Amino acid sequence: MASLMQSGRIGRGSQLSAEWRVYAGESFIELRLAVLWCEAHKLLKLIVPLHGESSKRCDGVMGGSIVRPNDGKEWPLRDWTYIAPFGVTAPDSYALDATPGRLRFTLLRSPILAHHDPHPGTNPRSVIADQGRHEFLFRFFCGKKLTPELLDQHALMCHRPLLAADVTKGMPRR
């Protein structure tokens, strides 16, 4: 495994740490993103530029997948998106909008909680959503052998990480 670390600031004081990883024998580039979010009334998205003119994509949704147009509208997402021959697993992002030139994964939203219209927007006990530390994992794939099924499999592996245990504890020495 080899990695590259980056850090920076967003907005009025939010901090960002990005670690880009490549693994020997794997067909993806991994991004581990950590955000200390301190913003109010803001939206944070990860933008991925595309080099192509695809008018549609296949997104993971509950119970399977669905083909959607790249029309800039935000839609719910479950774990992955695929625009041949490119795919992204995003098990920590739950919404995506896309155009033929870019993908935008919604990461954080910071409105006032329980803010309903009409509402003046002032309350001495207002609570802002999504404050604090958040971690996101993305895997970027490219290749002719890439399929939505492979993306779904990788996303499932991210949700169920490898477990290790010492099963020899308590056994007699030889």
Q: Is the pTM value of this prediction over 0.85?
A: yes
Phi-psi region of 132 (alpha: psi -120 to 50; beta: other; left: phi over 0): left
pLDDT in tens, 56-96: 999 999 999 999 999 999 999 999 999 999 999 999 999 99
In this predicted structure, the answer to whether residue 130 has a pLDDT above a threshold of 80 is yes
Q: Tokens 């080099």 appear where? A: 51
pLDDT at 163: 82
pLDDT of residue 167: 74
Q: Is the confidence at residue 165, as pLDDT, over 80?
A: no
Render pLDDT for 6-54 as a digit per residue (tens, 0 to 9): 999 999 899 999 999 999 999 999 999 999 999 999 999 999 999 878 9
pLDDT: is 171 or 144 the higher one?
144
Assign 119 a pLDDT band (cuts: 50, 70, 90). low
pLDDT tens digits along 148-164: 999 999 999 999 877 88
Confidence of residue 110 (pLDDT cuts 50, 70, 90): very high
Confidence band for 120, pLDDT divided at 50, 70 and 90: low
64-69 and 132-142 as β-strands: parallel, antiparallel, unpaired? Answer: unpaired
The Cα–Cα gap between 114 and 54 comes to 38
Residue whose C-alpha is closest to residue 46's, from 97, 9, 12, 111:
97
Query: What is residue 11's predicted lDDT score, i.e. its pLDDT?
Result: 92
pLDDT of residue 123: 74
